[in-house]
Structure 1
């Protein structure tokens, strides 16, 4: 049991770091703040604390860099090399040669071993260092030293600097000279070995080899590269092992549902097979009956023909016999000829088969009718002017069960289900899958449904807000209403809902009949309100809400055009700024970017804007959609990002949704097909799939693939 304790401690540390609970640990990760980590590294370098620097970097390597893909190893090594060189440069600038010497005492063997490893692309050369004046002429003459080293291969700049040091030392009467073999980098190899000359150079800042490292541009580039890398690392931290059980649970549930669906499909196919077998047996029986009837008719016709033939012959014989005693008259000959004609007609007449001909015609017609319809060709959306569309639309599924405009449509947190809300007072659920599911249901409310939200921690609870104070809590698995919460009477419209991704809290945006509004926080465990978030400078209706990844911050967009950011641990506003024209309708959509350093928003004024959170809502860029061909321009509504944070989809006043590229700051594609304005959008959490809800009362699910 004791041997498992360190492993469990490590799992807990990993989980706490992932959730951002760094206060529970010695906050060596600096709360995932890149700025704090850079400040700590700079402080260690400024204090010439080599041990502390190495220890801090090892901490980052152990708990963060080691979890990255193996393809990132080269980048980690390059940043470590740059950090150590920055340490050396700072020590030289501070005239701390003792620190430089200590560095090579500590790292010299390791750097030497790495440089001389097979396949490193290094060559051997000889460089004279202080105390080597007696053999300095060998370098000038291009001679060789022991071990086959070729002095002429040493870079000329390094030779001039280091050999000059050696000669100066020899001229001043220092200790006896000696040749020291020094490895340096050849073409395409690493260049650490050139740095072994750093402790003996009088003015390395002016030396061509080291001069670039003493420039401000190099230091700035290093700091920016390290900051970008750390941001990428913190965004890509893998899921802790303690949370992996939930993925396994969801995977198992999905597999069990698939097994049940396949079993149902097997039963259905078996029933179809039995039906088809019965039909085939019935057809075979009818064929045999028809064949028997046909044979009987042929035999009957043959018997009748034979009988008529016999009768004709008998009549002819009787005529001949009666005519023998007397002369044959012309009339008798005519009668005989007529009888012979009857016989010939009976024998030569073909027998028609009307049933066979009719059956053949019916079979031919049946085959033709089954293969007469060709499938309609697939269609693609037209790209917006000025660029190629990044996605190919594989297909669109249309759901037209609602009877009034769509107000909200959402994927569940695991992407397995879809919920849509409408002004017809219903919420409809169905499974995002090709197999039938028991989750499909209809929730009926007494008023138009204005807002919708999945509880993300379990995906078993759905919240729906109406225009008459109601917030309904619906159990998806049990298909029943669990509870109905009531908003205050003076703010009856539940316009927005947002559930915390890390706790049992949800926030509801409430609006009155006038322009005022409030933000209330409820606890899902107690079903009681816990606090009200303050809105300044004056109360306003909220049109959009979004939590960050750990639920610590909430961003809210208001009908007054303001964007407000709240600290959810205390319920206090952190910052707020005017973002859109309140007279035009204010903010219509808001969300955090994936790195959570900025916020994107759009408004009824037709502006699509990205705001910095580091400098109190300063505008990073703004895109004006007014009059834009292909997006409808003007009013935008709804906003959802894809799982990678590269693209987002917004609703437009035209009959389609517009896909924006976050970094290019412009629309790149549209998803059409609706007959009226698109008011609700969402993006699948893991797949390239978008959902759009329109005022034409339809919901469209568009399956996409990346274009090459």
Structure 2
């Protein structure tokens, strides 16, 4: 503890020198010299409290005790809360007795006037309001013990002992442990950096060997649209006239994202293997390889068996469809062959492929070819169709293993998609449900917010409800839930009913609906506090924590974004962000900015270091921001306000997934104007997409897009090599 205190003193001295507080620095040095304990001085705290009381400084006394409560007492278990409350009550009574003993009745009356709202509902203060009007309260049997010297000494000793034990049991300064932890992480990062450097060096050596082969290819092959190194090697092997083998990089090296690639053993490619063998081993992920009629040796097939994708069995189910596709002959324009007797150029052959094959090879691009700037290739798109009504929420848990989806009928499906889509649990709710959120620790727990003022904690593995918390009867609509990354608490947004009295209202009211923002403890299942929403209580539509839970950002029905400091549990800043409601808000990858989408159809990036300053702004189509409309026969029209996430980032924060009328849209984040650059349309939906999520917990990222017809599409993306 002594070393931690000394380290803290050094930090404080550096801060004072940096700010130029020379007089404060001199005072600190003088007090440090006379300090012999080198630890927490409880006697100084008691002395400061007594000074506030002697000076009749009620405001300073309350603020000092509030600071102790916020920094120390709130970390105690609930069994000690009654002790803290008794000490606070005794402290206030000590203040009142001092004002009467000193004959300052004006301060006595001031205390009861300022504290009336807080104390009038407490039974232990019921008889004390008559104290200022009693002629001789020290002679009254009910108050005479408090005027004795023995009671004052007993209270001060009790408070001193309580703080002393608290400081001994609680490790408030943990700099030494943090330094050791940081040192260990630094060493581990250095080891990983060296390993990465070695792998990159080996990969570079292999790439140099590949380039020795590539430079021998004809010019029109070298100038083809962007293809991976492996594809060029395969083309070179096909065009070679000799039967000698040439070294090639393993194909599955290109199927991994850049940050997770590891060098593999060189594969041997020879002539003599049939195209069907290639198709059986690699499945639809190597669909475009088959377009070139590539031949692969038996040794390459054995290595592919070891590196096959986890969905290899599922891909074989589509074997019949692929055989029908390739049974059609390719239309080729006869060209004159050169003197070497080579076949038509691969570039010309690739451009003459059928449309379906071209789209598959191009990763779903509109042009059907491989765009040189395409960041992703859409490997596959699967469908989860267990819902029979419009989806409201669709979220992947922290581990990327499970998905929870909620529809407007109150049906929750918990399911997995790796290696196959499989429903794990089905939850039916009698009351309407409006919000859904995965817990962080443990990640098997699911929070479900209803429209009748309750939040349920559901165990997806045991398939049972653990708790049902009654939030607030006056604000029954639980619009948003957000779990702290530490797993110890969650934020709950509760709102009043709409003007019509219904749970759901499509049109936005001119006057925002009243609401509350509450913090609940997941261990004790009790409310910790209620946040202050300025300028008036308003319904919070969306909430999001940063990576460590120190910051909370919210978007409200009044168009205001509020940023809360979760260490002090108070608002850090707020600003008007949109004309209309804020539908969705998230921190950026570096957490220096906040992105928001509002009712005005704009996506805006905000600088959190400068309140209300826009980094970028761009208008989106209505089908990306809502309200979402699904039209049918005979004038049927279904309208749904946004409830789930309207956008999601990839693992590196460089791309964002949004909604559209026919599927998800992926944009690249840019620093210019416009702020978003469209790079890929996932498609696949026949109804408007109302919520999205992006899972990057596995090697190949998976985008989830949920629509109003109850269909959820899982699009598996492959990050292109830059």
- TM-score category, normalised to shorter length: 0.3 to 0.5
| Structure with max Cα Rg | 1
Return the TM-score normalized by structure 2: 0.46
**TM-score, normalised by the number of residues in structure 1:** 0.47
